[in-house]
Amino acid sequence: MRKKFLVKKIFNGYSFIRDNVLVVEDGKVLGTQKGIDTGKDEIIDRRDFILSPGFVDKHTHGIGGVDFFDTTENDLKTIQNYYFKHGVTTVLPTIVSAPFENIYKLARAIKEAKKDPNFKLNIPGIFLEGPFINPAKKGAHDRRFLQRPTAEKLEELISNCEEKIIDIAIAPELLENPVEFFSKAAEKDINISLGHTNSSFDEAAQAHMLGAKNIVHLFNAMPQLHHRQNSITTYALLSDIKVEIICDLIHLSPEIIKLVYKLKGAENIILISDSIAATDLSDGEYSLGSLRVKVENGICKLADNTIAGSILTMDKAIKNLVKIGIRLEDALMAATYNPSKLFSLKGGAIKEGFSADFVLMDEDLNVKEVYAKGELVYKT
C-alpha cells in the first residue's frame, strides 16, 4: 500500500525542500509533494517532525558491546537496534587490523544475518581500516597484524571474503607498485581511503590521482600541519579529496572542525562515529580488536593513553556540528548524501527509486522514529 508521511519539513540529502509529504511504496521513495490529497493512501501524520534520509555511518567498529573484530550473526541482529536508535540505517562494519580469518568471519556473519527478513540494517560492504597501514601511525591497531599493501594480498582478501569489501584504508607510502594495487582495487570496485599514514604531500597526490577518494579521520593518525613540511594533511585541506571527521569534540576541536568546513566545503566532508563496542554503554573496560580499551568520562584510550576510537553516535555528531555553528543542512548532508555518493549507493537522499530509509527528528534533533525500506524499525 502507498504511504504518505506528512512532516514539518523534508531534507532531501542536499537541502530542505518546499514539499512536506514523502510518498513511499514497496519500500521505495516515489517522490514528494506539497500537502495531502484525497485517496486511499495510508497517511502517517508526523507534522511536528523533520524528515531526513537515514544516517550513514561508514566508519564504525561496533556498538552495544559488539566489536566487528569478532562478530556473529546474532550479534549483528542485536546491534542493528542500537544503530536505528541513533538514526543510522546504513553501516559499513569497520574492522581494525586483524588476521584475515577475522575478516572472513565478519563477512560470513553479515551474509547469514541478511538472510533473516527481520534484519533491516543496510550493510553494503565492509570497511577494512587495516592491515595495510604504517606502524609509525598505527594508533589503536595491533602491530602484529600490520602488512604491506600488495595486489596479491588484496586478491587474497577478495577471493576469500563472502561479502563485498567496499573500502580499504592504506598508507600510500608503503606501496611498492601503486599502479598495480589501485588497478586491482578498481577492477573489484573497491574504494581506497588513505589513513594511518606518514604520507608526504606528493605521495597523497599520486594516490588521489590513481583513484583514492577519501582520507580516514582527518588529523588523526597522520602528520600534523607544519608551516614548512607539507604532508598528506596539507594535501587533504587543499585538494577536493573527501575527508572523514569525528565530531565528538575530543578528536577535533570546534575551531579545527570549522576550519575544515571553511576550506573543504560541506560537499567534501563525511561525518563518522569511529564508534567502538563501548558505545551506548557505561564507562569501563572494553576491547577494540585485540587491544584493551578503557573508557573514562566518555574518552576511549589504550593503556599508553592513545585515543582508541570513540563512543560517539551519528545523531550526537550532527548535534555537535550544529552546536558549534555549522548549518543543519551541511551537518545532515555530511551524514547522509556524502558517504552514500562516495560509494554510489542508492541511499542517503530522498529521491525517486531510492530505498525509503529515513529518520524523523524533533526540532532539537532528537531521533523519534526510524524507517527502513518504508517500515518502522524504531520509535521512542
- Show me where the domains of the chain are located: 3-51+362-379, 55-347
pLDDT, the chain, mean: 96
CATH code reported for the domain at 55-347: 3.20.20.140
Hey, which CATH number is domain 3-51+362-379, 3.30.70.1560, 2.30.110.10, 3.40.1390.10, 2.30.40.10?
2.30.40.10
Instruction: Give the mean model confidence (pLDDT) for residues 100-119.
Output: 96
Task: Check whether 3 has a pLDDT greater than 70.
Answer: yes
Q: How confident is the model at residue 1 (pLDDT cuts 50, 70, 90)?
A: confident
Number of residues that make up the chain: 380
Closest CA relative to residue 126, chosen from 196, 78, 76, 195: 76
* DSSP conformational letter for 275: B
So what's the pLDDT on residue 200?
A: 97
pLDDT of residue 227: 92
Over pLDDT 90: what percentage of the chain? 97
Average pLDDT (37-43) is 79
Alpha-carbon distances, residue 288 vs 31, 83, 277, 315 (angstroms):
42, 18, 7, 22
Indicate whether 65 pLDDT > 80.
yes
Average pLDDT over residues 85-101: 97
Q: What is the mean pLDDT of residues 202-227?
A: 96
Mean pLDDT across 59-82? 96
Rounded distance between C-alpha atoms, residue 149 and residue 158, angstroms: 13
166-202 pLDDT tens trace: 999 999 999 999 999 999 999 999 999 999 999 999 9
Q: What percent of the chain has pLDDT over 70?
A: 100
| pLDDT of res. 238 | 96
Residue 343 has pLDDT above 70, yes or no: yes
> Average of pLDDT values for 80-108?
97
- The confidence score (pLDDT) of residue 38 equals 64
Q: What's the pLDDT score for residue 131?
A: 97
Q: What is the mean pLDDT of residues 331-353?
A: 95
Identify the band that residue 39 occupies on the pLDDT scale cut at 50, 70 and 90: confident
Nearest CA among 339, 351, 368 for reference residue 86: 368
Average pLDDT over residues 33-52: 88
pLDDT per residue as tens digits for the range 132-160: 999 999 999 999 999 999 999 999 999 99
Amino acid at 375: E
pLDDT at 42 over 90: no
What pLDDT, on a 0 to 100 scale, did the predictor assign at position 152? 96
**Residue range 353-371: mean pLDDT, rounded:** 97
pLDDT score, position 40: 78
CB 97, CB 289: distance < 8 Å: yes
The pLDDT of residue 41 is above 90: no
The pTM assigned to this predicted structure is 0.95
- Residue 43, number of CB atoms within 10 A of its CB: 11
What's the mean pLDDT in 69-97? 96
| Whole-number pLDDT of residue 372 | 97
Report the SS3 class of residue 180. Answer: helix
